[in-house]
Structure 1
Amino acid sequence: MHITATRGDITEQRVDAVVNAANSTLLGGGGVDGAIHRAGGREILRACERLRANDYPEGLPVGEAVATTAGELPARWVIHTVGPTYSATRDRSRLLAACHRESLRVADSLGATSVAFPAISTGVYRYPVDEAAEVAVNAIRETDTDVELVRFVLFDERTYRVFAAVTDRQ
């Protein structure tokens, strides 16, 4: 598998699937979640509403992943995953790693071979970027998957530099 980092907008990625750093409601929010819902259009929201009504009435649990259509995005699918909120007193790295492993598992079930990831949990969930990058890249490297390309798409320069340094160590 080839793992890269790039600075850019995840909603513009031409890959099989983009990963959404969703909140548990699956109904949109801020950051990456809001951007994906806005750019992808109402079709993503309707698919998420069906998931909530039928499969996740209490919301999507942290560390799990589920796919929907990508609506108007250039990708085919959106894989929604809920990252953990950072805690200085509790190690939540296993949950963050699970977001990446489960997203790849869902990608495999879809037949996706290229996946774009954001920096899950590093926004409002306050996970330190340095720690998140290590956890994310290691989880992806350790996952048995048919995905051939994983691209981390980072919105700001600092986050991009951190992820690029970690991915370059492969």
Structure 2
Amino acid sequence: MTGVERREKLLSMLAKSKEPIAGAEMAKQLSVSRQVIVQDIALLRAADNNIVSTNRGYVLLKPGKCERIFKVRHTAEEIEKELQIIVDNGGRILDVFVYHKIYGVVKAPMNIKTRKDIYEYVKTLSSGKSSPLLKITDNYHYHTVQADSENILDNIQKDLEECGFLAKLLDFEPVDFWEKSE
């Protein structure tokens, strides 16, 4: 069994288990040392698998499937602050999009989940080679945000509102932007 196959098996074991699995038990089932399991777990974590160590073993936390679309309005200079509010509360910014009266929905993926991601995004924007989408809609735009709970999304919404960034839907804007057309 290769290392890749072993790590896939580890993920499968963790995903199927309702209880923590001890490293020694995984090592026994896969005929490797416990140290190999520790190293594999580190590699799986580095690959964005949410594996937690407990006193009874390892647990794979299921990724959050809570999503909410926020309509916001702010200046280009406030982009970093807006993104930090979302990330600092535990949100992941999946995309940015605008709803244009003529062009409809214009969307770009973002996948921002850390302050480092925000730094890189803002740095790219400041290079002057591209403009943020908000420029074509008088600073109005939307983000699809994913989080591990509705409570986190509520906190993000509250903080965006407190900063004056949240905006209301207008009459011409559809409520369901995606209508499963993708």
TM-score by length of 2: 0.28
TM-score by length of 1: 0.29
Higher relative contact order (CA 8 A, sep 6+): 1
* Larger Rg over CA atoms: 2
